[in-house]
Every structure is written in structure tokens, then in C-alpha cells.
């Protein structure tokens, strides 16, 4: 406790807001959490099933509409810069322009949306949390499938490759994220 008070005094004297160090650490650790779960994958083509969506939804709801998207942007920025954070140890801008590019952009929107909903009480019950997670998944699908259809030449092949194979897995991941949310909030508050 004394170390936190001392750190906040140093930040205040330097002009930084109290809590800025904590926010920065939460954002960095959350970005690393997303990167770690990105390595949990089932290799489908053209888009693999990964643990990223679980991480993005959990981080978004736990950190809120400001810090959640910042954690996703930090994750994307580190991977774009060359760190092997995308699924299968991939990295770089070329990967982001491929079939998964729209989903990656959708992660930012989903983190903001579920964070915004959590700030409005959607994390108070399992039912509301699952509804928020479903809306977050819809945001990811909207961006992902829109991008994928431009690469695949139509909506039907994009839906067949980028939506239908993911529905059951994303439902399970949303349920797991919802169950983990109370523990995540405890970690964020401590």
C-alpha cells in the first residue's frame, strides 16, 4: 500500500494523474493476456478459431469502454510492430490485411461495446453479461465478415467460412468469459 501511495505521489508531482500507472499496467497486462489466448487455436481456413475473442470480451467488460479498447489497440500495435502475438505466432501488417483483418478491427469495437454495457450494469447478472457478450460477438462478426466478403467475393462464402463454423465455439467462449468476469473485476480492483 505504501508503494502505491509513493508511486501516485511521484506521478502527481510529474503531472500524471493518480492511477495512470495502474491503468497503464492493466492495459499492458490485458494486451499480453489477449496475445496469450491468441495462441490457443483450432486451425480452420481461412480464419482459425482462437481464444482471442474470449480475451477481448473479458478484457472489455473488466476494464470498461476506455481501457478495454486501449488494451486491444496495444495488442494490435505490438503485433503490427512485429511481436509474434497473432495466432500461430504471426505478426505484422501483412497478416492484419489478410482474412482475419476485419475481425481484428472488430475486437476494438467489441471491447468498447461490452465495456460500455458493463459500465451501465450489464455485468450484474449472468443473463445480462451473456447478452453483452453476444452483442460484442456481433460487433466482431460485423467487421470480420464484411472484410472477409470483399476478399472472398461474396456474402455466402464469407458467412460459410467466417460465421457458421464459429457460432458454437464463440457461444462457449462467451459463457466462459461471463463466468470469469467476477474474478477479472477483483483483479482489476486490487
3-state secondary structure of 42: strand
DSSP-derived secondary structure for 11-24:
HHHHTPPTTHHHHH
Of 69, 74, 68, 143, the residue nearest 104 (C-alpha): 143
CATH, range 19-189 = 1.10.1760.20
| The predicted structure's pLDDT at residue 11 | 47
The answer, yes or no, to whether residue 130 has pLDDT greater than 60, is yes
Triad 179, 182, 184: Cα angle to 5°? 100
Distance CA 19, CA 7 (A): 9
The residues facing 41 across adjacent strands are 50
Q: Which three cell numbers stand for residue 91?
A: 505478426
The answer, yes or no, to whether residue 146 has pLDDT greater than 60, is yes
Q: What is the pLDDT of residues 5-36, one digit of tens each?
A: 444 554 455 455 558 888 999 999 999 999 99
| CA 28 distance to own-chain centroid | 12
| The predicted structure's pLDDT at residue 13 | 53
Q: What is the pLDDT of residues 57-96, one digit of tens each?
A: 999 999 999 999 999 999 999 999 999 999 889 999 999 9
Domain spans of the chain, in order of start: 19-189
Residue 64 CB: number of other CB atoms within 10 A?
Answer: 19
Of 75, 82, 47, the residue nearest 163 (C-alpha): 47
Alpha helices (H) along the chain = 2-14, 20-38, 52-80, 93-96, 101-119, 126-152, 155-162, 167-189
| The predicted structure's pLDDT at residue 8 | 52
Mean pLDDT score of the chain? 89
Amino acid at each position: 500500500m505504501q508503494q502505491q501511495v509513493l508511486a501516485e505521489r511521484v506521478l502527481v508531482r510529474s503531472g500524471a494523474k493518480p492511477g495512470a500507472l495502474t491503468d497503464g499496467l492493466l492495459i499492458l497486462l490485458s494486451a499480453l493476456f489477449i496475445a496469450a489466448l491468441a495462441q490457443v487455436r483450432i486451425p480452420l481456413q481461412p480464419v482459425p478459431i482462437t481464444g482471442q475473442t474470449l480475451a477481448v470480451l473479458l478484457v472489455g467488460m473488466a476494464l470498461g469502454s476506455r481501457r478495454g479498447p486501449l488494451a486491444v489497440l496495444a495488442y494490435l500495435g505490438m503485433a503490427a510492430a512485429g511481436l509474434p502475438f497473432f495466432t500461430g505466432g504471426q505478426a505484422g501488417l501483412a497478416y492484419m490485411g489478410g482474412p482475419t483483418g476485419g475481425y481484428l478491427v472488430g475486437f476494438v469495437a467489441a471491447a468498447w461495446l461490452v465495456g460500455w454495457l458493463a459500465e451501465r450494469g450489464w455485468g450484474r447478472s449472468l443473463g445480462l453479461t451473456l447478452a453483452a457478450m453476444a452483442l460484442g460477438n456481433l460487433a466482431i462478426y460485423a467487421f470480420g465478415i464484411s472484410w472477409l466478403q470483399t476478399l472472398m467475393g461474396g456474402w455466402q462464402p464469407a458467412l460459410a467460412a467466417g460465421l457458421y463454423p464459429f457460432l458454437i465455439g464463440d457461444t462457449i467462449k462467451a459463457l466462459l468469459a461471463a463466468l470469469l468476469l467476477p474474478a477479472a473485476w477483483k483483479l482489476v480492483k486490487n
